Chain A
Amino acid sequence: MTEAFSKPFFEDLEVGASLPIVELGPMDRFDYIPIALILRDTNPLHLDRVYAQERGLSDVVQQGPLNQAYLYRYFTSWLHDPWDLVATKMRFAANVFPDDVLQCGGEIVELSEAPGGGGLVSCAVWQRNQDGQIILKGEASGRMPGR
């Protein structure tokens, strides 16, 4: 699940332009074990299929912060330096399940030039599953250098 973006410069950007769409997956249920350990969250909803099915779900649910991490990685891979990230705002809309294939995308909504060159780019970003259902929706902004 790796992707390489061509890095744009601030002068190349236009409001309304789309970011490249990237596909990730299929999601792997065995990834939920290290994520549960990192989050110190052993909720069986993420790990025990029978428990999840008893609660009306089709399978275990991928942890929300992992969904976010994929969308963060998507957006920050587009920046020249991942730590040029300035701000994010994300809302959970639906669950991700094992074997789902995710798509991440976005659109430039605002550009503001910086005095020393380059500027700030703000984007609407989203993540959806193979059925087109929105998983995460939000905004992300970052610094983009000039040429």
Chain B
Amino acid sequence: MREGRFQPDGSGSLRVADGGLQLDIDRRTLIGRTLRSATYTVTEVDVSDFLGVVDEPEFAATRNKSGSSEVTASTPDAVRLAPPSFAPFVAVLGLLKTFDWQDDFLFDYRTGTAMFGEQSIEFHRPLRVEESVAIAASISDVYEKQGKSLFDVIEVKFEITGSAEGDRLMSGQQSYILFK
């Protein structure tokens, strides 16, 4: 068996085994990595398209600015809220903007298979339609697991804040499963 490093940071090795090439990547070197910050705007179009699929008949969308009480659209501080069911979309989309599969996860998305693992979210205030949110994320853990096949789990901790006021909107964790 011949071996050689192939990642610039020395996090992986190239192995020739059983007549074929096999890549061994140690993604544990990624733990603690801060991902790039990103923004996402909760657009009227996205929320309307979403509500066209996942209708929310009981959802009162027009509230005061804190989201605590329903108001009419003509009230001065009225804001339109997105339903909480839209939150996973914001987390998934926002997070996808914070990393590059190859550079940050050492993963070739064109040839490999990846899927979402577990997602946990704490909600600090409602999501407003047309607001821009900022996403900050970092890799909190990486570990290998054996299911039907071998895979790595990358856990990403994130915090989403309102871009305008900087207040906390959601925080949590998303894991990604990268098959080997």
Contacts and interface: CB of A to CB of B under 8 A. Distances in A.
Interface of A: 1-2, 4, 31, 34-35, 37-40, 64-66, 68-70, 72-73, 76-77, 82-83, 85-92, 138
Interface in B37-61: 46, 49-50, 52-59
Contact of B53 (A66, A68, A85, A90): A66
A138 B59 CA distance: 23
A38 B84 CA distance: 16
A73 B53 contact: no
Contact of B57 (A2, A38, A39, A89): A2
Nearest to B81: A83
27 contacts: A2-B55, A2-B57, A4-B58, A34-B49, A34-B50, A34-B53, A35-B50, A37-B49, A38-B89, A65-B88, A65-B92, A66-B54, A68-B119, A69-B88, A73-B54, A73-B83, A73-B85, A76-B85, A77-B58, A82-B56, A82-B85, A86-B123, A87-B123, A88-B121, A90-B118, A91-B118, A92-B117
Interface residues of B, number: 33
Interface string B133-163: 0000000000000000000000000000000
B101 interface: no
A8 B102 CA distance: 49
A72 B84 contact: yes
A42 to B, nearest CB: 13
B85 A92 contact: no
Contacts of B52: 34
A141 B89 CA distance: 19
Q: Tell me what chain B mostly uses at the interface: helix, strand, loop, or mixed.
A: mixed
Contact of A87 (B56, B67, B117, B120): B120
B86 interface: yes
A19 to B, nearest CB: 16
Nearest to B48: A34
B120 A88 contact: yes
Given A64-B116, A86-B123, A39 B85 contact: no
A39 B58 contact: no
Contacts of B49: 34, 37-38
A86 B122 contact: yes
A34 B47 CA distance: 11
Contacts of B121: 87-89
A31 B96 CA distance: 22
Interface string B11-50: 0000000000000000000000000000000000010011
Contacts of A70: 54, 85
Contacts of A90: 118-120
Given A70-B54, A87-B120, A38 B46 contact: yes
A56 B84 CA distance: 34
